[in-house]
Amino acid sequence: MPEAYVVGAGQSDFGSFPDETYRSLFATAFEAARDSVPAGLDRSAIDEAYVGTLGVGGRQLGLPGPAVADHVGLDGIPVTRVENACAAGGSAVRQAVNAIRAGSADVVLAGGVEVMTDVSNDAVRFWLGVSGETEWERLSGTTFSGVYAQMASAHMAEYDTTTEHLSHVAVKNHANGAKNPHAHLRFECSLEQATNAPTVADPLTLFHCCPTTDGAACVLVVSEDVVEEFTDERIRVAGVGAAADSVGLFQRDTYTAVPASQQAAETAYAEAGMGPEDVDFAEVHDCFAIAELLAYEDLGFCEPGEAGPYVESGATKLDGELPVNPSGGLKSKGHPIGATGTGQLSEAFHQLSGTAGERQVEGARIGLTHNVGGSGGAAVVHLLEREEPRSSGDASGPRPRASEDGGEAR
Amino acid sequence: MPEAYVVGAGQSDFGSFPDETYRSLFATAFEAARDSVPAGLDRSAIDEAYVGTLGVGGRQLGLPGPAVADHVGLDGIPVTRVENACAAGGSAVRQAVNAIRAGSADVVLAGGVEVMTDVSNDAVRFWLGVSGETEWERLSGTTFSGVYAQMASAHMAEYDTTTEHLSHVAVKNHANGAKNPHAHLRFECSLEQATNAPTVADPLTLFHCCPTTDGAACVLVVSEDVVEEFTDERIRVAGVGAAADSVGLFQRDTYTAVPASQQAAETAYAEAGMGPEDVDFAEVHDCFAIAELLAYEDLGFCEPGEAGPYVESGATKLDGELPVNPSGGLKSKGHPIGATGTGQLSEAFHQLSGTAGERQVEGARIGLTHNVGGSGGAAVVHLLEREEPRSSGDASGPRPRASEDGGEAR
């Protein structure tokens, strides 16, 4: 089974772009990913592509994968759309890794894209709603903020988690996102601002919820057989895990954990022969602040019920013991559904390459990404590891390009 | 790289079922697939699942994979939706094979499902339209019958193909479908009926177009390491090929061939070390009669331009030299978008198992399936091969169950 390596990744800016289309955003991310490959990567080298997207707004609901691949000049290769709601991007990367490991491809593109800001709020609510439990949640009026508010309420009731704990997530992620030139909401916020913001779904305030965002992100995955053609900075996919669960929150045994995240993490850790103690930084799925707290517990960063005090301790800040969401996370960087998972991988790639600019986690060698679909109907976890150089005296191979902002472009 | 084997497959009836849901249809197909496994297959043995669906009607557009998997009692395993429009099912099977070959799973479910008849004709046209080229085909009024009509007109102009040639496809497929207890349109038709039926999009008549159908189909794929636990009738996935192309017909160089089909077939034949001359029967994507004629040429069954005379010769009838669409094809069996590709694999499995009842192709050892998305934006080809028994004197292992109608249930 050939090992899979990430040799390049990039993203468009995340934000609101009335002059862009899903094709143009994808093309920007694709070129940024290609540009980040130390020795370059011609599009003719790409054997296959996977594209994650939900299709918000109903644009190109069938064949969006071939549509964007064609737009960037990839024809005649297999292109497959994968979708697991907000975990579509992470699922696309997982399929890319599978294709490498199956020996059916040497160079695979995993991309994600979503355009959300050109339709009405009602339309966004519909398109996200049909990723929740359609029959018994959406049609009875439950929104995603409502579902996550139920999880927050349950966590508060069971573990003395507070609104301020939720706000600490927002403060940290906005502080990080303010350093990220590609982030949607590039500003800092205070604990008071976050806590006293208008309520969206009690106990969640506006600052406990991620924005509606346009964007794209692409990741280039290659097999060990060809990795040396592209880089001598070897960033290996050390572990991959995924799991699905009931789509409806009400169908699950617990509201204070996401079983699919736990299962996906367990699989990824086992495959990598690693544990949470090995992780240097993580990009986790903070669609709502409570989701980041649950992720700490589900991924083993702290004990169940301890996530509130853990975030308050500063452990997950950029200079903490385990920085979480150095990119700004979904909260500040933004959450363009299909692009979120590939965007997490892009951040992890640049952190491990040492090209994350102001938000660089010093000495990062192992990164974890965690992408959730719906309220936990699906989850995907990746572990990336920067391998030590094979021969320290060899300076003749390709070197990573230096960049102040992460080597990405738009 | 572990080889992949199909050990079971089944489908719901295809048709119009106002009392069914996508969940209930999927469950029927899932149980039919499990029932077809000679030694049985407990759901706890399933390591992973892929689900193909377009989501016609807007039901559960996000996470439909986890939704149906949960409904049949599969929790905690990875479940991923794949979509390539009408090639969603074939793409799901391909991902299942990749998972086996990557060594990440031993038993994988590939399923497909679609419910189409409970929404208006206008709605169906919309949901299919967004699988065509959205911006320059659908929004300018082009329908799928319109796109395929252009392909038919071009083939007629270039090769003297006639309306009667198209009608021969309908006559043959209805003759086969009339023998299939799971087919949607279980009746025969005459050449005159097909030719003189009302025009849908000139030159295509009603009988040159497939129906709008509800249905589900499931396939169980396992690795060589465990195949003996389930069967001693070994049906191997000998080759898989896939390709994508421009979504819009107008964007391609040719209207008289589907380049993605040609590329997918080339890849599958090369992987299997086979050619068209080795194929004993084929299930091809006859969404419109012209599509079956193009498939003959693209898959190498006859020379370019010869498909009309080829079908007229009877070569592809059930008792011909190369039976095509013994199931009745999309034309008669029906075309529930996401379930069509897995339905093709189900038919191939039962043909190779000798359990295809009245429509059995005698002595079938190698079968080909061909699934197309849109007007050729994606294509997937599988080659299945029934291996000779390993030891002819060994009668102690599990034996295939006999069945008059294909071992399927509803």
pLDDT in tens, A97-146: 999 999 999 999 999 999 999 999 999 988 888 888 877 888 888 999 99
Mean pLDDT across the stretch B347-368? 98
Mean pLDDT across the stretch A15-20? 97
Which amino acid makes up residue B78? Answer: P
> Given A335, A350, A370, A382, which residue is catalytic?
A335
Distance between CA atoms of A201 and A249, rounded to whole angstroms?
A: 16
- Whether A67 and B247 lie within 8 Å, measured CB to CB: yes
Residue B189 among the catalytic residues: no
Task: Identify any residues that bridge with A373 across adjacent strands, giving them in sequence order.
Answer: A378
Tell me if A291 sits within 8 A of A249, measured CB to CB.
no
Dihedral sign from CA coordinates of A90, A95, A101, A105? negative
Tokens 């609901």 locate to A61
Please write the tens of the pLDDT for every residue from A163-213: 999 999 999 999 999 999 999 999 999 999 999 999 999 999 999 999 999
Task: Please list every residue in chain A whose beta carbon sits closer than 8 Å to the beta carbon of residue B100.
Answer: 102
| % of chain B surpassing 70 pLDDT | 95
Mean pLDDT across the stretch B353-379? 98
Please write the tens of the pLDDT for every residue from A217-276: 999 999 999 999 999 999 999 999 999 999 999 999 999 999 999 999 999 999 999 999
Question: Which alpha helices (H) appear in A282-363, and where do they start and end?
Answer: 289-298, 307-312, 329-332, 337-353
Mean pLDDT across the stretch B25-40? 98
* Nearest-by-CA chain A residue for B93: A80
Please write the tens of the pLDDT for every residue from B223-248: 999 999 999 999 999 999 999 999 99
Question: In which region does residue A403 sit, left (phi positive, over 0), alpha (psi from -120 to 50) or beta (all else)?
Answer: beta
Which of B63, B261, B287 to mutate: most A Cβ within 10 Å?
B63
> Residue B69 in 3-state DSSP?
helix
Tokens 């919309």 locate to B126
φ, ψ at A80 (rounded to 5°): -130, 130
What is the pLDDT at residue B301? 98
CB neighbours of residue A243 within 10 Å:
27
Cβ under 8 Å to B: A residues 277-306: none
Structure token digits, residue A340: 């979120």
What is the pLDDT at residue B391? 56
Mean pLDDT rounded to a whole number for chain A: 94
Tokens 């966590």 locate to A155
In the predicted structure, residue A296 carries a pLDDT above the cut 60: yes
Structure token digits, residue B326: 């013994």
In the predicted structure, residue B403 carries a pLDDT above the cut 80: no
Residue A335 among the catalytic residues: yes
Cβ under 8 Å to B: A residues 109-138: 127-128, 130-134
CB of B63 within 8 Å of a chain A CB? The answer is: yes
Which range, of B113-127, B164-178, B323-337, averages the lowest pLDDT? B113-127
Distance between CA atoms of B302 and B49, rounded to whole angstroms?
A: 36
Listed in sequence order, the residues at least 6 apart from A1 whose beta carbon sits closer than 8 Å to its beta carbon are: A101, A103, B1, B102, B103
What is the pLDDT at residue B374? 96
- Whether A81 and B78 lie within 8 Å, measured CB to CB: no
Taken in order of first residue, the domains within chain B and their CATH numbers are 4-118+212-385 (3.40.47.10)
Task: Identify any residues that bridge with A222 across adjacent strands, giving them in sequence order.
Answer: A5, A107
Listed in sequence order, the residues at least 6 apart from A387 whose beta carbon sits closer than 8 Å to its beta carbon are: A234, A235, A236
Q: How far is A229 from chain B (nearest CA, A)?
A: 23
